[in-house]
Amino acid sequence: MFKLKRSIFVDINNILHGVECSCGKTHHCDIEYVYIESGAIARLEKLCEQNENILIVADENTYSAVGEYVEKTLHHKTIKKLIFPGKTVLIPNEKAIEKVKETLDGEDIILGIGSGVIQDLCKYVSFFSKIPYIIVATAPSMDGYASDGAAMIIGGMKETVKAGLPKAIIADTEVLKNAPMEMIKAGYGDIIGKYSALCDWKLSTIVTGEYFCQYIYDMTYQMIERTLEVATGILERKEKSIKTLTEALMIVGIMMSFAGSSRPASGSEHHLSHFFEIVGIVNNEPYFAHGIDVSYSTVIIAQIREKVLKSEFPDVLYRLSREDYTEEINQIYKTVASGCIALQDKVGNYEADRLNIYREKEENIRHILDTTPSSEDIIKMLNVVGLDMREFYDLYGMKKINDAVLYAKDLKDRYTVLWLYYDLFGGGRIC
């Protein structure tokens, strides 16, 4: 039975520059400054005192929120601006990357104003152009601000590309508390999704022998609990609660940098979210903001765990013929199907025989699945901030959700409960 524990206070500055860990690694995150406070934008003047030419990257919405204030703060600098349209969905693909690259013309720092896609674009271009960047956060909507991975869509495939870290993160709580409520809920939902991600990490450690760090696990878990404690205040836009949510998102990002991958924060729930996004782009169909998709997908993943727990492990692994499965993947993913197949061939998931491991580790597997919050628990957590599963079912419908349960695993090279469910039961209907 899941029970919420009282969290402890964590000072972000005490962990930012490294930890000698009992896992045998020295974790580090090379961000110089993280400011989460009222009036934080004023710190840009000092942060940019050595820079003369600045490229601001934003979209119309994020620029209208704080762009003029940022420019006023840096009025003595030479500023060039790249402002993406705000009415259309900005996709972090090759076209957007090229737009940022071709706008660069001798600037010595990139200043992103925005959240998910804007910071991913700045992070990616900064790393490959060897130009530092600072991000001015406009919403507490996701955990990627402090991670060293950029979530990009390359060749139609969702990829987390190893990239650089910002010189500084500016998170002005006066700005963040006034972000669109959908984006605030997305950040909350992204945090709730860590229950699923952490479960998948432990599961993979048992099944595949993947590296595991108890410190990173515990810190990430603490951030979920801190966020749950202020859930009502988040919905009410209380500045202290928004600050707590933002700190949780930043610390989770640092934990990803410590781990050297997004594993502590991204598992099967993110794979479902990526499925809805990629299929939505391919078929020109609507999808939710990332964190909201993650939150609802966390409920579906909990239902998968519950179904596994109620079932006996079979004596034979489930497998479709390669020809039949390839045909299904082509129907689902269309132009990006070949990329999915190539990825799984590379890591060997289609041919992997894990039956002996499942039999040997069944008790441990069941324990891990059983000590993670239930679907009912997750739904209650989401309801606190006004997230309602009915909108998820209404937007996607049962067929697409069941397709996601079966095929989302093919988008990534990461072992999760989706592979366990497929191996044992063929990834059958969940709703």
pLDDT above 80 for 8: no
Domains of the chain with CATH codes: 20-177 (3.40.50.1970), 268-425 (no CATH)
pLDDT digits 0-9 by tens, 278-298:
999 999 999 999 999 999 999
The pLDDT score that the predictor gives to residue 9 is: 56
What's the pTM? 0.92
Task: Dihedral sign for Cα 96, 98, 100, 102, please.
Answer: negative
| Distance of alpha carbon 314 from alpha carbon 185, whole angstroms | 40
pLDDT digits 0-9 by tens, 215-262:
999 999 999 999 999 999 999 999 999 999 999 999 999 999 999 899
Nearest CA among 185, 152, 170, 211 for reference residue 32:
170
pLDDT mean over 197-202:
99
Confidence of residue 4 (pLDDT cuts 50, 70, 90): very low
The pLDDT score that the predictor gives to residue 3 is: 45
The pLDDT score that the predictor gives to residue 410 is: 95
User: Phi and psi at residue 319, in whole multiples of 5°?
Assistant: -150, 130
pLDDT digits 0-9 by tens, 129-149:
999 999 999 999 999 999 888
> Which two three-digit tokens encode residue 206?
């048992």
Check: CB of residue 135 under 8 Å from CB of residue 175. no
Q: What is the mean pLDDT of the chain?
A: 93
Nearest CA among 196, 205, 216 for reference residue 365:
205
Contacting residues for 322 by C-beta, under 8 A, at least 6 apart: 350
DSSP label at 146?
T
Nearest CA among 213, 208, 224, 207 for reference residue 263:
213
User: Phi and psi at residue 108, in whole multiples of 5°?
Assistant: -105, 0
Residue 59 sits at the vertex; the CA angle it makes with 53 and 60, to the nearest 5 degrees, is 110
Confidence of residue 271 (pLDDT cuts 50, 70, 90): very high
More confident residue, 141 or 431: 141
The pLDDT score that the predictor gives to residue 289 is: 93
Q: Per this entry, what is the length of the chain?
A: 431
Share of the chain above pLDDT 90, in %: 84
Check: CB of residue 207 under 8 Å from CB of residue 357. yes
Provide Rg for the chain, Cα atoms: 21
Q: Hey, what amino acid is at 141?
A: S
pLDDT digits 0-9 by tens, 369-418:
999 999 999 999 999 999 999 999 999 999 999 999 999 999 999 999 99
pLDDT digits 0-9 by tens, 168-182:
999 999 999 999 999
Check: CB of residue 119 under 8 Å from CB of residue 112. yes
